[in-house]
Structure 1
Amino acid sequence: MLKIHHLGHSQSERIVWLCEELGIPYELQKYTRDPVTRLSPPELKALHPLGAAPLIEVDGMLLAESAAIVDFILARYGRGRLRHGPEHPDFAAYLYWFHFANGNLQPVMLRSMTVGRCGLAPDHPVRTSALERLDKVFSLLDARLAQNDYLAGSEFSAADIMSVFSLTTMRVFYPVDLEPYPNIRVYLQRIGGRPAYQRAMAKGDPDLTPMLT
């Protein structure tokens, strides 16, 4: 059976959610962040040199990196669900938004959070540049969701599973006001209504109220 090593309030929520969407059995091993450092506990660090989550175990193999794990699970258990193949008209859009999550969205949020904690003046060019980039990324997402119910088009896909963490749980660590992005807010309400998302969050992070507004 697939085993998910899940760190609370982390990107590993993606993997729990994916398994719930696919309806595949899994074992959930949960870990809690250090209350002071907010980093992984020693038990998780012992499993992987980076001490990060998610991690999965299957057939004696340990695999890290959420995007790689999502691709692995879809290839092995997905039976064509939640991803578009080359023949699909939205194949390119699926690839773009799937990789946008960890290639743009999450790094831009992390950079903005880091810059914000450096004590720079509000008008410092590094700080204003980081905030401008953040707005560009969120505005691009908002424009996409003004035209489509989901990131890859009209169908829910793994591209959405990859992106929602940054729009919700990441805001526990770095608050972002979504008021200027109404289409993202509508999208998050749509996501929040999915039973698989509700089950995943209840199982993986029962202490966390999803930030869907």
Structure 2
Amino acid sequence: MITVHHLNNSRSQRVLWLLEELGIKYEIKFYERDAKTMLAPESLRQVHPLGKSPVITDADLAIAESGAIIEYLIDRYSNGRLVPASGTPEHLRYKYWLHYAEGSAMPLLVMRLILNNFGAGDSSVVSGFVAPQIKLHFDYIEAELRKNTWFTGKEFTAADIQMSFPLEVVATLPEEVESRPKLKEFIDRIHALPAYKRALERGGRYEVSFH
């Protein structure tokens, strides 16, 4: 059986959601962040050398990285669900957004978080690079969501699950949401999904904040 090594308030919530969408049986092993540092506990290193979440174990496999986990679960367990047909324009967009979430969107948000936490929130790095880049990327996301209900088109896919985390992070920043109604609509839409709600029930407290 699949075990999700689930860190509170983390990207691993997306993995729970995907498993609920696919109707796969799974177990959860819970880990709590250090209250002061907000880092994952050392016990996660016993599962994966980097001690990061999400990580899943499936028989003798240990798989880390959100995108890799999603691709593994989709390839092995989805029976064609939540992924566009191979060779279609939708499938190309699916691959793009699946990797864009962590490759382009999240690094900017993490950079902002780190600079703010180290007292550099008003620095020229933030005003000259980070803030303009966040605006560029999330204006782009807003424009894409004006074209379609979901990131790959009319159908909900695992790419939407992957994209949920950066959008939920941005939703905690009022100044980034006010001018982006489609972004807010996307978040409201996923929060209403039954599988999303079931994942919250199983995973427990889930709050993201990148102020």
1:189 is aligned to 188
Which sits farther off after the overlay, 133-142 or 89-98? Answer: 89-98
1:10 is aligned to 10
1:97 is aligned to 97
C-alpha distance in 1 between matches for 2:68 and 2:13? 14
One-letter amino acid of the structure 2 residue matched with residue 208 of structure 1 = Y
2:57 is aligned to 57
One-letter amino acid of the structure 1 residue matched with residue 192 of structure 2 = G
C-alpha distance in 2 between matches for 1:16 and 1:46? 21
1:152 is aligned to 152
TM-score scaled by structure 2? 0.91
C-alpha distance in 1 between matches for 2:116 and 2:29? 33
Partner of 1:151, secondary structure, is coil
TM-score scaled by structure 1? 0.90
Deviations 1:148-182 (A, max 9, x none): 101111111111111111222x459xx42211211
Contact 1:2/1:25 (CA < 8 Å) preserved in 2?
A: yes
Do the aligned partners of residues 107 and 210 (structure 1) sit closer, same or farther apart at CA in structure 2, a change above 3 Å counting? closer
One-letter amino acid of the structure 2 residue matched with residue 156 of structure 1 = F
Unaligned runs of 5+ in 1: none
One-letter amino acid of the structure 2 residue matched with residue 185 of structure 1 = K
Which sits farther off after the overlay, 22-31 or 44-53? Answer: 44-53
Query: How far did residue 143 of structure 1 move?
Result: 0.6
Do the aligned partners of residues 185 and 63 (structure 1) sit closer, same or farther apart at CA in structure 2, a change above 3 Å counting? same
Query: How far did residue 207 of structure 1 move?
Result: 2.4
The alignment status of 1:176 with 2:173, answered yes or no, reads: yes
The structure with the largest helix share of the pair is 2
Query: How far did residue 121 of structure 1 move?
Result: 6.9
Q: Which runs of 4+ in 1 moved over 6 A?
A: none
Unaligned runs of 5+ in 2: none
Contact 1:3/1:56 (CA < 8 Å) preserved in 2?
A: yes
Counting matched residue pairs gives 206
C-alpha distance in 1 between matches for 2:121 and 2:186? 34
Which sits farther off after the overlay, 192-201 or 42-51? Answer: 42-51
Identity of aligned residues (%): 35
C-alpha distance in 1 between matches for 2:118 and 2:32? 27
Which sits farther off after the overlay, 56-65 or 73-82? Answer: 56-65
C-alpha distance in 1 between matches for 2:47 and 2:158? 26
